[in-house]
Amino acid sequence: MDKIFKALSDPTRRRILQLLRERDMTAGELADRFTLGKSTLSAHFQVLRDAELVTSTKSGTSITYRLNLSVLEEALLGFADLFGLARPRGGAAPSGEGGEASHG
């Protein structure tokens, strides 16, 4: 989970994820959206790959990136669960909510 939150801590990487949410994109297409150098963007892509938030496929000289949404969802659910914020997948309130107040 640390790698995921490290990846999400940078606004450029968050923007890359937003763009990939719309559709798969090549490294060149993503680079066109930023004013950063190629090596800087490459480092961002590596952090995202290390966190398994994106997958990449090479075809000839082109690399296409795809958002791995399931990893992001699992991390966010795990984080919410860690703080007791997660609800069961059915959307029902956790047991104890709306019932008798617990007295300790």
**Residues above pLDDT 90, as percent of the chain:** 62
Neighbours of 48 (CB within 10 A): 25
Domains held by the chain: number: 1
Residue 92 lies in a domain: no
Q: pTM to 2 decimals?
A: 0.76
Residue 99 lies in a domain: no
Task: List the domain range (segments joined by +) for residue 11.
Answer: 2-82
Per-residue pLDDT of 61-101, as tens digits, reads 999 999 999 998 888 888 888 888 866 555 554 544 444 44
- CATH number (domain holding residue 49): 1.10.10.10
Residue 21 lies in a domain: yes
- Residue 49 above 80 pLDDT? yes
Segments in the chain forming alpha helices (H): 2-8, 11-22, 27-31, 38-50, 69-82
Contacts of 51 (CB under 8 A, 6+ apart): 3, 4, 6, 7, 71
